[in-house]
A and B are shown apart, each in its own frame.
Chain A
Amino acid sequence: MAESDELVRLIGLQFEGRGHRALDGIDTVLPRKRVAILGPNGAGKSVLLRVMHGLLKPSAGVVAWAHVNTHAPRVAMVFQRPVLLRRSVEDNVIYALRQSARHRHEPAARLRDRAQLALAGVGLAHLSGRPGRVLSGGEQQRVALARAWSLEPDVLLLDEPTASLDPGATRAVEGIIHEIAASGVAIVLVTHHRGIAKRFAEHIVFMDRGRIAEESVAPQFFSAPASEPARAYLEGDLA
C-alpha cells in the first residue's frame, strides 16, 4: 500500500480491562477508504475504535495516524447513543465548535453559520432552535453527525450509529454517512448491520475475540470469506 493511501497504522495493540483482554494484538494498516469493522458481540470492535480515538489507553501498542497535508488528522467520533447537551440543537453544534482549537476564536455569527450549514447537511436546519434532548433517537443521532461533521474532521469514527434506530431513521443516518464520506472524510464504521456494511464499505476488517480474524476488500469478504468465524458470522451462526 502506498503511504498516501494509508489512514492509520495499528501496531501490536492490546487492551486489557477488568481482567479481560478486549484487544489481543491488533496489527494492521487501514487504508484511506470506507472501512467497516464487523464482528460478533464482544469481538472488541468498539474498544478498538475508542483506542484509535484516544478515549482508551492501550495496554500495549501504538496507533499511528498518517498525516494529512503535513498535519495530524482531525478525528471525530459518533457513538451508538448520541449524548446531546440540555440546550438547543444549534447550540449543541456550536458547543462542539467552541471546543475545537480551529474554530473557538471565530466570531459567534460565523459559528452559527457553520452550525446551520452542518444541520442543513443532515436535514435538521428547521429544528435548530429546538432543545436537543427532546428530539427522537434518529434526529438526535443526525444532530450528533452534524456536530461531528461541523468540526471538519479528516477522519470520522462511527460506533454502531444505527444500532438503536428504527428502519426509517437507519436509512436517513446511512444516507448522511454516505454524504459525509463523499465529502472526502475518511470513515471507519463499526456496525452489526451487514446490509449497511455491504452498501457502504470498500474495506472490511472482521474481528473475533479481540483479534483480526480476516481483512479484505468488501466484495471478496461478502462473497468468499476466508475465515471460519467470518463464514459463521455471515451465515448468522455467530452473533
Chain B
Amino acid sequence: MNWIGESLHGAVALATAGDARLWAIIFLSLQVSLTAVALAAVAGCLAGAAVAVGRFPGRRLAIVLLNAAMGLPPVVVGLVVYLLLSRAGPLGSMGLLFTPGAMVIAQFLLIAPIIAALSRQVIEDAWREYEEQLRSLGVSGLGAALTLIWDTRFSLVTVLLAGLGRAMAEVGAVMIVGGNIDGVTRVMTTAIALETSKGDLPLALALGLILLAIVLGLNGLAYAVREWSVRRYG
C-alpha cells in the first residue's frame, strides 16, 4: 500500500510545483476540448433546435439517429477521422493528422451529437410551453429556434458540460488521431494512459487529480449558474 501513498505524495508535489511539462499538457487538453465544445455547441444547439421546432419528413428518424449517435465508440470515430486525414485520405492534403486540429475534429464528432440530442430534448420541452405564444406573435421557425436557445440557455449550460466532460475524458480517438506526441499532442488522458503503462504513477495521478478538479469545478460553476438563473429569471 505504501506505493499508493508515495505516488499520491509525488502527485501533490508535482501539481503544486508548477511543473512546466505538466502545465503544458493541461493547457493543451483545455485548448483542444474547449475548442471542440465551442464548435459543437454552435452546431449541436442549432441542430437540436431545428429538430425540436421543425416538422419535416424523417424527423422521428433524425431523433433516433441523434440519440444513437450519443453512444458513438471513440475508437471508431478516431479511426474514421484517421482515415479521412491520413496522407492517402480525402482530407490528407490538409496535413492535420497528428496535430491538435485533428484532435479537435475527433472530439467535435464525438460531442456534437451529444449536445444536439440533449439540447433537442431541452428545447422541445420549452417549445411545448412557448409554441402557441410564439406562433401567435408570428415568430418564424428560425426565430423560434433562436428564441428558445436563448431562453433555455441556463439548461443548455448543463448540456455543454456533458459534452465537455465527454471531451476531456476521451482517450481513444485523440490517441489515434493525435498520436500522443510529447509537447505536441499529448493531453491529460493520453498522458495518464502512457505514464501508467510506464509506471510513472505520480505524474499519472497528478494529472488525474487535476482532471477531476477541473471537472468538479466546472460542474460546480454550472450548478451555481443554474441556481442563480432560476432565482433571477424564473
What residues make up the interface of A, taking CB atoms closer than 8 Å to B?
A: 50, 53, 55, 76-77, 79, 83, 85-87, 95-96, 99-101, 131-134
Contact = CB atoms under 8 A, between A and B. Distances in A.
Nearest to A85: B151
A55 B151 contact: no
Nearest to B129: A83
B64 to A, nearest CB: 24
- If over half of B's interface residues share one DSSP class (helix, strand or loop), that class is named, otherwise mixed; here it is helix
6 pairs of A and B residues whose beta carbons are closest in the complex: A133-B234, A83-B133, A134-B234, A86-B233, A131-B233, A99-B137
A63 B158 CA distance: 45
B133 A133 contact: no
Contacts of B233: 86-87, 131, 133-134
Contact of A76 (B130, B136, B147): B136
A86 B234 contact: yes
B138 interface: yes
A55 B135 contact: yes
Contacts of A86: 150-151, 153, 233-234
17 contacts: A50-B132, A55-B132, A55-B135, A76-B136, A77-B136, A79-B132, A83-B130, A86-B233, A86-B234, A87-B233, A95-B137, A99-B137, A99-B139, A100-B138, A131-B232, A131-B233, A134-B234
B125 to A, nearest CB: 13
A95 B137 CA distance: 9
B138 A99 contact: yes
A99 B143 contact: yes
Contacts of B150: 86
Interface in B114-162: 129-130, 132-133, 135-139, 143, 147, 150-151, 153
Contacts of A101: 138
